[in-house]
Amino acid sequence: MKKDIQIPEVTGVEMAVVYEYNDIYKTDDWNVYLINKKAIDLEMLVIVSQGFSDTKTTSLLRKKLDILPANSFAKIELIQPELFKLNNRFQVTFFEGNTLYEKTFLFKENSIKEGALRMIDDIKKRGVLAN
C-alpha cells in the first residue's frame, strides 16, 4: 500500500554551480558539481537536469555515475549562462547501501550570477549552492 512506502530524507548531498577557469579552452565556465559529504560511497547515481519557466522548457539531460566516493565531488556538466534566466532542476537518484534515495535540487531563475558566488569549502571553488 502507498502508506507503507517509506521515502528516506537525503542529507549530506549538495549540488553547486561553480564559476571556474578552463585551462584547455582558456575561458571562464560555469559547471555543475555534485558533492557527497557523507562518510559512505554513493552508488549507481542518475542525474536528470532540465531548465524551465512558464513559457519555456529545455530538453532533459541525463548523466550516470557508477560511484561517488565518500567525502568527494564530481563535475556533472557545463551549464550555459543563457539558462540562468530559467529555473534549473536537477533530480538525483542513488543507492546508499541497499536503500534508494532521491532528491531534487533547484536553482531558481536568476539565482546563478557572479554576485552570488560564495566559497564552497568542499571543492575549494567559488559557486552557488542549490536549494
Tell me if 120 sits within 8 A of 16, measured CB to CB: yes
Please check the confidence at residue 6 and state whether its pLDDT lies above 80: no
- pTM, full prediction: 0.92
How many C-beta atoms surround the C-beta of residue 21 within 10 A? 10
Question: Per CATH, which fold does 14-113 belong to?
Answer: Immunoglobulin-like (2.60.40)
Domain spans, the chain: 14-113
The rounded mean pLDDT for the chain is: 95
pLDDT, position 65: 98
pLDDT digits (tens, 9 = 90+) for 14-27: 999 999 999 999 99
With residues binned 3-state (H G I as helix, E B as strand, rest as coil), the percentages for the chain, rounded to 5, are: 10, 55, 35
